[in-house]
A = this chain, B = another copy of it.
């Protein structure tokens, strides 16, 4: 019998690697320890001082990883074991404390670095506020210069406020990309818009640049999955790669206390889960991000972060289904 019963305190990556990892934190591996390019690279962009209103979304990458311990790698609904899929965690982009432009450049450069060294691996960026999306897409464009990039945006807002007025804030990324000739407005589809959350001048900009606005009401009438499928099909016929950006404020306020900008009338968690399953299946979707979730505002049971991890696993489930085809 053992002389003592000491065990190491529980930290994330210290656990012995298991052959058949049953939980997410045993499954995801540090990127630099992997010998082969993984199927998906995860990296964090922990900045939210670029947010128009106060935001702690910079805390999301850490909290996202902390909460994934509560998830098994087995998806019961789809009868799929995720553990055959390789996920490499590249860590977080180091942010400067007060130089927002410099921090944004680092996100762009780091994204370019990953795209250069892992050109066929899907990337998933965990924000951070929505300003990070513009950086990431520019980083990708830097590497795949000649390619057309399409953006599927799940969002309550258009995020086309004027960077000339605000600088590269979280309300501006889509406009940064369009005005910067990185993405054409006609190759942006926003699904999730609703209610009274986009002022008229922003609608005008969107119309002038042919951004496709699909309200939740329209999507629900047609069927949300059908709408997602249609959007991906349309984009994939026009562009070379699709970047999906999930602004977590697309969720209804009743399920997303951790997203200060969430509103009544938004997506249910299940609608988000179904959407991401579908998105993961499409082979043109090479990049995805999840932004604007502020864990410091989440409920006591971390409801929103749990939805965030679940949504990400749905995307991976979709990826696996696609790979099987």
A: residues with CB less than 8 A from B are 3-14, 20, 22-24, 30, 43-44, 48-52, 54-56, 58-59, 61-62, 65, 71-77, 81, 83, 89-94, 96-100, 106, 109-110, 113-114, 131, 165-169, 193-201, 203, 213, 215-217, 252-255, 257, 260, 262-265, 269-270, 273, 296-297, 299-301, 303, 306-307, 310, 313
Contacts and interface: CB of A to CB of B under 8 A. Distances in A.
A225 to B, nearest CB: 13
Contacts of A110: 4-6
A269 to B, nearest CB: 4
Contacts of A93: 4-7
A271 to B, nearest CB: 11
B195 A76 contact: yes
Given A65-B9, A97-B167, A110-B5, A265 B273 contact: yes
A109 B6 CA distance: 10
A8 B89 CA distance: 9
Given A167-B99, A200-B22, A264 B310 contact: yes
A91 B310 CA distance: 31
Contact of A8 (B30, B48, B313): B30
Nearest to A57: B54
Contacts of A109: 3-5
Contacts of A9: 12, 44, 61-62, 65, 89, 91-92
A6 B265 contact: no
Contacts of A131: 98
Interface centre among A55, A199, A255 (most CB of B within 10 A): A199
A58 B40 CA distance: 36
Q: What 6 A-B pairs have minimum CB-CB distances, sorted nearest first?
A: A98-B167, A49-B49, A22-B199, A54-B56, A4-B113, A97-B166
A205 to B, nearest CB: 13
A55 B24 CA distance: 24
Nearest to A51: B49
A48 B44 contact: no
Contacts of A252: 269
14 contacts: A4-B113, A5-B110, A6-B91, A9-B89, A14-B14, A49-B50, A52-B97, A54-B54, A74-B198, A74-B203, A100-B100, A252-B269, A257-B300, A297-B301
Nearest to A194: B77
Looking at A65, A194, A200, A255, which has the most chain B CB atoms within 10 Å of its CB?
Answer: A200
A168 to B, nearest CB: 6
A43 B9 CA distance: 10
Q: Which of A5, A51, A73, A215 has the most CB of B within 10 A?
A: A5
B303 A300 contact: no
B196 A310 contact: yes
Given A5-B109, A169-B97, A77 B217 contact: yes
Contacts of A196: 24, 71-76, 310, 313
